[in-house]
Amino acid sequence: MTTCPTTLPDTTSATRAFRDRVIVRDEIDRYLRTGDFIDEARIEADLRRAVNPDPARIRDILAKSLAIETLLPEETAVLLQVADPGLRQAMEATALAIKHKVYDNRIVTFAPMYISSYCVNRCQYCGFNADNSQQRRRQLTLDEIRAEAAAMCGRDGHKRVMAVYGEHPRTGASFIAESLQAIYSVEVKTRRGKTSVRRINVNAAPMSIDDLKIIRKGGIGTFQVFQETYHRRTYAKVHPADTIKGDYDWRVTCMHRAFDAGIDDVGLGVLFGLADWKFEVMGLVTHARELERHAKIGPHTFSVPRLHPASGSDISRHTPSPFTDDDFIHALTVLRLAVPYTGLICTARESEALRNRCLGLGITQMDASTRIGVGAYAAEPVCQEIDKQQFLLGDNRTLEQLICDLARRGTITSFCTAGYRCGRTGGCIMDALKTGKEGKFCKVNAVLTFREWLDDFASPEALKICEPVLLSELAEIREQLPAFYPVVKAHYDRIAAGERDLFF
């Protein structure tokens, strides 16, 4: 295992020296030779021109979205300026129709695993801020990481993990790769068989191409980095210039490097509440179009976190730029319409009521049984302690509770990770998503993985609630894919008999 000092010397010169080792200037400049692709003046002009949009133009834009075409920035701006309740309803209905067209009737579940709370950065909104003396910091050993994975698999039945790391010498690329292998190594007995984590996405700091190649070999799924804010002046206010994160351009070009390192699934996001939310949505869509230009592949996911209380942070309790629940709903709707092939993640930061509302807007992924303290899954009892985690959560539902709530709405929960292990990633999955083909695989694999979870983890009450949805989805497969159905049913029967991890 790579060994590193447990703390970084608390001096500006040491912080700058670490920053200078991490940031590779050529790996910024090569991607910005034609200028900054986040053109603030153009974004602001597009938003001004789109005020009081023509309803006929809005309907034309919605038709383009429904054809699974990425919108132009100026078209996105038009949707952001819609205030008419009837047109907003039409947008939301189209967003949900797109979700069903691309991803079918399912929600993918996951859980975050916080590996370390050590960080050299001093972001004003974050509990992991290096200057925050209130934060009780910890980094998991490889054995503790395996214990977390066993708890997440064995207690709730999670198959997908989002591994989260602070930026620090202790959590460089080699450690991340080792920790991924530690998670993948865990196998847990269930009622009917065995289970394990089958996909690990990573939320970490921007890295060099060489370091990204190391974590790719470690088994990374999606590489997730949030810009936090695309507005440069705001970015400079909340990220001190002498820190690594203070370099806007290093962060905004991180996904270019990921693609060039061979990581073909990336996730974008902003922290809503720092700057004007409409500007941030425009930034996300502009970034997505830039990645399509650079790599012919757009982002696999958008995440929509917003400011929530964090220890040692005044700004997290006094949002600099208002972002109401209605704004949240509008932003999510526009993102689904603007980049229709991209998955949308709505996390347990938000309240149960708001997340339930967002199910009608086209979200595709939700976390549950979420614990964001370092080592929190293996610990008992469940308890939120603000000085031991990055922020406070709003939705504390268990995975079974979320699954049952989805089933009552007629939605199936999917634990599928098949596409990533069958090579349906990057450009391949982008094409499959845009044409609706991936949704067919998704429906089949959702049924198979849901049968597996129900047999291994569901309570008798959950079985009663969920099995009608499962059988309804199976019947749809028989109707929609009659030639393929016998093979699907054979796999389904094998899983019901105790086999595990069968997929297409």
| pLDDT score at 190 | 95
Is 57 in contact with 243 (CB distance < 8 Å)? no
Is 401 in contact with 457 (CB distance < 8 Å)? no
Structure tokens at 195: 């289970």
pLDDT band at 390 (very low <50, low <70, confident <90, very high): confident
- pTM (global) more than 0.95: no
Beta bridge partners of 444: none
Largest CA distance in the chain: 67
Q: Which amino acid, 320?
A: P
| pLDDT score at 434 | 65
The dihedrals phi and psi of 270, each to the nearest 5 degrees, come to -130, 165
* Sequential DSSP letters for 74-92: HHHHHHHT---HHHHHHHH
Is 370 in contact with 393 (CB distance < 8 Å)? yes
Q: What is the pLDDT of residues 31-49, one digit of tens each?
A: 998 889 999 999 999 999 9
Is 7 in contact with 118 (CB distance < 8 Å)? yes
Separation of alpha carbons 43 and 143, rounded Å: 48
Looking at residues 448-456, what average pLDDT do you find? 97
| pLDDT score at 5 | 40
Structure tokens at 462: 């959950």
| pLDDT score at 197 | 96
Read off the DSSP letter of residue 157: -
Is 230 in contact with 275 (CB distance < 8 Å)? yes
| pLDDT score at 431 | 65
Q: Which of 410, 488, 487, 496 is nearest to 453 (CA)?
A: 496
- Sign of the alpha-carbon dihedral angle for 160, 423, 213, 301: negative
Separation of alpha carbons 105 and 256, rounded Å: 32
| pLDDT score at 313 | 87
Q: Which of 372, 394, 368, 383 is nearest to 462 (CA)?
A: 368
Looking at residues 195-222, what average pLDDT do you find? 96
Is 496 in contact with 453 (CB distance < 8 Å)? no
Q: What is the pLDDT of residues 92-148, one digit of tens each?
A: 999 999 999 999 999 999 999 999 999 999 999 998 999 999 889 999 999 999 999
pLDDT at 297 over 60: yes
The three-class DSSP label of residue 203 is: strand
Q: What is the pLDDT of residues 308-350, one digit of tens each?
A: 888 888 888 888 999 999 999 999 999 999 999 999 999 999 9
The dihedrals phi and psi of 26, each to the nearest 5 degrees, come to -60, -30
Separation of alpha carbons 258 and 205, rounded Å: 12
Residue 58 gets the label, from left (phi > 0), alpha (psi -120 to 50) or beta, of: alpha
